[in-house]
């Protein structure tokens, strides 16, 4: 498949974390539809402290590199890859994803950041093929490896395409961020607990490697794990103006997949939470919190 190159006439001297977009992969939803891509954008904006801290850490561990090549594996709309590209002088990015719409969104973000001449996108399913590109210095894989049928094999291929002393960063979470208190004033207490329990069962059936410890998988693929860090997300209350929209986007996507597994009362609660005109809805609540943990594991190719 021929890469889709983008070109630009300028490069930024600085950036804010909210300027780039997340690479949280498709999580079983229809990757690339506008609603999902909007959710990725909201994740980047509302959780900008997480994105800044995690990408700054990867940059620190990678050290000073001369014109490094960055690989974003399961790039989504590109927060990780674009964010790392901005953090290195004269870095270039190769972003791979199965979704053409996601990569189009990524190129739009690259254009807005002045990175178009430094970005190559490739629409490809890594379970069935491997891009004829490389070598790389830094790989970012955020919430994407658990979608692969053989992630260890893909990690071996990444290592083979990585220069000596190059690194990989694997970012994953056990379950999505959470937003609600025990008693939200509608339905039975514990609504979100029940939704998350249903989600865990769904993930266990469809995505058995979600939440796996990636240290042994990286070691099996020949990487030397050098560090692992949990990044706590704890916004209580969240101050971002789009926090309610972010919660609505997450819960709406979960509801599309899990609604048949909820009882009548919880389906009603979900309808209330997603109705922007209801004062008890996610968009209009004043008691939201955003809480979760994302784990980033770093490994080096020795």
CATH of the domain at 119: 3.40.50.150
Asked if residue 159 and residue 23 are part of one domain, the reply reads yes
The average pLDDT across 175-183 equals 92
Identify whether residues 152 and 199 lie together within a single domain: no
Supply 88's token pair: 């290195």
Cis preceding-peptide flag for 237 (omega within 30 of 0): yes
Question: Could you tell me if 135 and 187 lie in one domain?
Answer: no
Query: For the chain, what is the domain count?
Result: 2
Q: What is the pLDDT of residue 9?
A: 30
Same domain? 163 vs 245: no
Mean pLDDT of the chain: 86
Q: Is the pLDDT of residue 203 over 80?
A: no
Q: Count each helix (H run) and each strand (E run) in the chain, helices first.
A: 9, 8
Same domain, 104 and 55: yes
pTM of the model: 0.85
Nearest to 243 by CA among 178, 183, 175: 178
Q: Residue 201 pLDDT > 70, yes or no?
A: yes
pLDDT band, very low/low/confident/very high, at 237 (cuts 50, 70, 90) = very high
Looking at residues 207-232, what average pLDDT do you find? 84
Q: Are residues 53 and 134 in the same domain?
A: yes
Q: What backbone phi and psi angles, to 5 degrees, belong to 181?
A: -85, 170
Can you tell me the mean pLDDT for 175-188?
93
Span 87-131, pLDDT tens digits: 999 999 999 999 999 999 999 999 999 999 999 999 999 988 888
Q: Cα dihedral angle (44, 50, 55, 57), rounded to 10 degrees?
A: 180
Looking at the fold, whether 155 and 265 belong to one and the same domain comes out as: no
Q: Are residues 193 and 129 part of one domain?
A: no
* pLDDT reported for residue 212: 57
**Which has the higher per-residue pLDDT, 199 or 101?**
101
The parent domain of residue 136 ranges over 4-174+210-237+292-300
- Shared-domain flag, residues 142 and 159: yes
Looking at the structure, do residues 108 and 220 belong to the same domain, yes or no? yes
Examine the domain organization and report whether 111 and 188 are in the same domain. Answer: no
**For residue 14, pLDDT beyond 70:** no
Q: What is the pLDDT of residue 19?
A: 36
Q: How far is Cα 74 from Cα 25, in angstroms, rounded to an integer?
A: 6
pLDDT per residue as tens digits for the range 51-98? 999 999 999 999 999 899 999 999 999 999 999 999 999 999 999 999
- Statement to judge: residues 107 and 225 lie in one domain: yes
């Amino acid at each position: 498949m021929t890469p889709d190159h983008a070109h630009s006439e300028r490069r930024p001297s600085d950036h804010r974390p909210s300027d780039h977009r997340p690479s949280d992969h498709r999580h079983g939803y229809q990757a690339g539809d506008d609603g999902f891509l909007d959710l990725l954008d909201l994740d980047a904006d509302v959780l900008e402290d997480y994105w800044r801290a995690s990408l700054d850490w990867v940059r620190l561990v990678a050290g000073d590199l001369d014109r490094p090549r960055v690989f974003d594996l399961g790039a989504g709309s590109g927060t990780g890859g674009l964010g790392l590209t901005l953090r290195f002088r004269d870095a270039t990015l190769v972003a791979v994803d199965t979704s053409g719409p996601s990569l189009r969104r990524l190129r739009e973000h690259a254009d807005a950041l002045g990175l178009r001449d430094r970005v190559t996108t490739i629409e490809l399913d890594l379970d069935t093929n491997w891009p004829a590109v490389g070598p790389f210095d830094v790989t970012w894989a955020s919430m994407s490896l658990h979608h692969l049928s053989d992630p260890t094999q893909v990690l071996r291929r990444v290592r083979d395409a990585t220069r000596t002393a190059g690194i990989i960063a694997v970012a994953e979470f056990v379950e999505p961020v959470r937003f609600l208190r025990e008693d939200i004033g509608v339905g039975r207490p514990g609504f979100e607990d029940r939704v998350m329990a249903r989600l865990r069962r769904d993930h266990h059936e469809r995505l058995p490697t979600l939440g796996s410890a990636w240290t042994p998988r990286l070691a099996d693929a020949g990487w030397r794990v050098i560090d692992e860090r949990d990044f706590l997300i704890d916004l209580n209350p969240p101050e971002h103006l789009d926090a309610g929209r972010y919660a609505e986007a997450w819960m709406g996507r979960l509801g599309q997949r899990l609604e048949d597994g909820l009882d009548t009362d919880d389906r009603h609660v979900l309808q209330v939470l997603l109705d922007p005109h209801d004062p008890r809805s996610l968009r209009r609540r004043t008691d939201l919190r955003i809480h979760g943990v994302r784990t980033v594991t770093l490994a080096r190719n020795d």
